[in-house]
Amino acid sequence: MSYDAIIVGGGHNGLACGAYLARAGKKVLVVEQKPYVGGASVTEEFSPGFRASTYSFILGHLHPKVIQELELKKFGLEYFPQPNVFNPTEDDGIIFSKDPVKTREQIARFSRNDAENYPKFFERLQSTIEILRRLQLETPVNVFRKDIPGLWKTARFAWRYRNAERETYNLLRALSMSAYDYVSQWFENDLVKAKFMFWATIGGNVGPYSPGTAFHLVTHLVGQTGMSFCKGGMGAVADALKASGEAHGMEVRCNAWVDEILVRDGRTYGVRLGSGEEIRSARVVSNANAKRTFLDMVDSAHLPEDFVDDVKGFRSRGMSFKLLCAVDRLPQYKGFSEEKTGVDYPAYSHICPTPEFLERAFHDAKFGWYSSEPFLSPNVPSYTDPTLAPDGRHVVVFQGGATPYELRNSDWVREGPQLVKNAFSVMDRFAPGFSESVLDYRLITPKDVENDINLPGGNSQHGELTLDQIFFMRPVPRYADYRSPVRGLYQCGASTHPGGAVSAVPGHNAAREILSDMRWRR
């Protein structure tokens, strides 16, 4: 049997790409190595009766355009907005809510100056966010292409953004500044600074005092869906995308490991599975990491040598860990009181009392070790979705750092239990008795991520979001437009623009380019 397109990898971007192609009337097959789809957007039982979002943990970046066009709510997607984020100290804290007046009142308890500057900060930040939201849906231009079509595309891109001088200036500052310097332009209080600097640590490999980390801060606020917990966990995103595609004829095969992407005379003609079965298609779309795609699945004889070298240089080191905990009661923060604050229980928190606390967490990781006091982002999805845990019990999911991919003179089998102790010790300082409430847990290190879902280096973004690995440089120069040196072989995963987070934008953009090429060939 032959297909119009084979999607390699049933992660959310692969499913989104396949669903768009299927809606356009194309015959599409998605092949996934695991028994179920989702990739990093999955919900799994980690302890009897307790389920959690294993990797991605909160919905905020899934693009509204994708939700609407693929009718994801019709196909079962539900989510619960989280109106508050709590940043505790050991005896107090700030609740950041969607109500700017209440947030300013909270900030004013620590600094009146910071409360006055809060709207000024977001006014500047918003201009940078808006241009990034516009750029999300762009196909990166190839600025290295000097023929007439290439120059024309670059010129049209420049013309579209000809009036974005202020936004471009603010974006360039974010790309070059440290998160600490960026927020210090407006704020003086350490807790307020740390709140916004926390965003710069997610998916990053250096501390927030390092140049360029302000860009990480901005990118994590680009999402337009609002911070939310998915009903049923993040696997619900993949389930809705799969159902949307299948409603228009998309086929999905799980337990199907792709051993090789088949190429002849510079063009792909299908895939070979680990079982030896060959499936034919004039187009193959890889949702896998760029390294896995071009270094493992495509014979290097079919690729330019400089392209292979560039892919080898694509940095995909992970520095974050996940900790899934089954608990017998909600964490009780010393600094929070419903009576005093007048808001609901904080099911989403950031534990980072000072900028120095965040920076120190990266120090040991620079030299192959893990933090003795990791920063933590505890969230309790079972507070709004009781289906994730037995009655009266809860799931607490931590995203934390910093943890290198490999340890110096040791390994994670030996050191994992101590990392967990370190994390629980930090949590107990802010929520006394938390460690005593833990019934079971599962630790996930960057190496676990690599082994489980085939992400080289275990980076949740597929690859670092740095100046040399974004937009027309992602994943490598000259091939950031979702295509590749092999005709008919496309990319649609987070290795491509605009990168990681559960946005489905790479899948959306790749489908657009594939359909454009199909129309052109016809």
Q: Can you spell out the DSSP letters for 46-60?
A: EETTEEEESS---BS
How many helices (H) and strands (E) the chain has is answered by 18, 19
The 8 Å CB, 24+ separation contacts for 416-421 are 416/443, 416/445, 419/321, 419/370, 419/374, 419/443, 419/445, 420/323
Structural domain spans, the chain: 2-40+62-76+233-315+461-521, 99-219, 316-453
Amino acid at 486: V
- Tokens representing 226 are 């609002």
Report the alpha-carbon distance of residue 213 to residue 206 in Å, rounded. 8
Instruction: Inform me whether the pLDDT recorded for 110 exceeds 60.
Output: yes
Residues 78-99: what's their mean pLDDT? 90
Residues 65-79: what's their mean pLDDT? 97
Residues 358-379: what's their mean pLDDT? 93
Confidence of residue 522 (pLDDT cuts 50, 70, 90): low
pTM given for the model: 0.95
Q: What pLDDT does residue 337 have?
A: 78
Q: What pLDDT does residue 521 have?
A: 64
Centroid of chain to Cα 213: 16
User: CB neighbours of 149 closer than 8 A, spacing ≥ 6?
Assistant: none
Residues 218-245: what's their mean pLDDT? 93
Report the alpha-carbon distance of residue 289 to residue 298 in Å, rounded. 13
Residues 105-120: what's their mean pLDDT? 94
Report the alpha-carbon distance of residue 485 to residue 471 in Å, rounded. 18
Instruction: Inform me whether the pLDDT recorded for 263 exceeds 70.
Output: yes
Q: Is the backbone of residue 266 left (phi > 0), alpha (psi -120 to 50) or beta?
A: left
Q: Please, what is the Cα angle at 513 between 216 and 174, to 5 degrees?
A: 15
> Which has the closest alpha carbon to 491: 254, 256, 298, 276?
298
Q: Topology of 2-40+62-76+233-315+461-521 in CATH? A: FAD/NAD(P)-binding domain (3.50.50)
Report the alpha-carbon distance of residue 187 to residue 115 in Å, rounded. 9
User: CB neighbours of 391 closer than 8 A, spacing ≥ 6?
Assistant: none
Cα dihedral value 235, 240, 245, 250, nearest 10: 40
User: CB neighbours of 99 closer than 8 A, spacing ≥ 6?
Assistant: none
Tokens 């989280």 correspond to: 82
- Tokens representing 468 are 């040399």
Q: What pLDDT does residue 339 have?
A: 67
- Sign, Cα dihedral of 5, 253, 299, 318: positive
List the beta bridge partners of residue 400.
321, 376
User: CB neighbours of 508 closer than 8 A, spacing ≥ 6?
Assistant: 16, 17, 20, 63, 65, 66, 137
Helix axes 12-23, 505-521, angle to 10 degrees: 40
Share of the chain above pLDDT 90, in %: 76
Instruction: Inform me whether the pLDDT recorded for 520 exceeds 80.
Output: no
Residues 144-162: what's their mean pLDDT? 87
Cβ-contact 48, 55 below 8 angstroms: no
Q: What pLDDT does residue 340 have?
A: 67
pLDDT per residue over 25-70, tens digit each? 999 999 999 999 999 999 999 999 999 999 998 899 999 999 999 9
Confidence of residue 289 (pLDDT cuts 50, 70, 90): very high
Q: What pLDDT does residue 254 have?
A: 97
Instruction: Inform me whether the pLDDT recorded for 292 exceeds 60.
Output: yes
Report the alpha-carbon distance of residue 298 to residue 283 in Å, rounded. 14
Instruction: Inform me whether the pLDDT recorded for 461 exceeds 60.
Output: yes
> Which has the closest alpha carbon to 328: 440, 438, 441?
438
Most confidently modeled range among 199-203, 214-218, 241-245: 241-245
Instruction: Inform me whether the pLDDT recorded for 403 exceeds 80.
Output: yes
Cβ-contact 403, 365 below 8 angstroms: yes
Q: What pLDDT does residue 341 have?
A: 67
3-state SS, 328-368, equals CCCCCCCCCCHHHHCCCCCCEECECCCHHHHHHHHHHHHCC
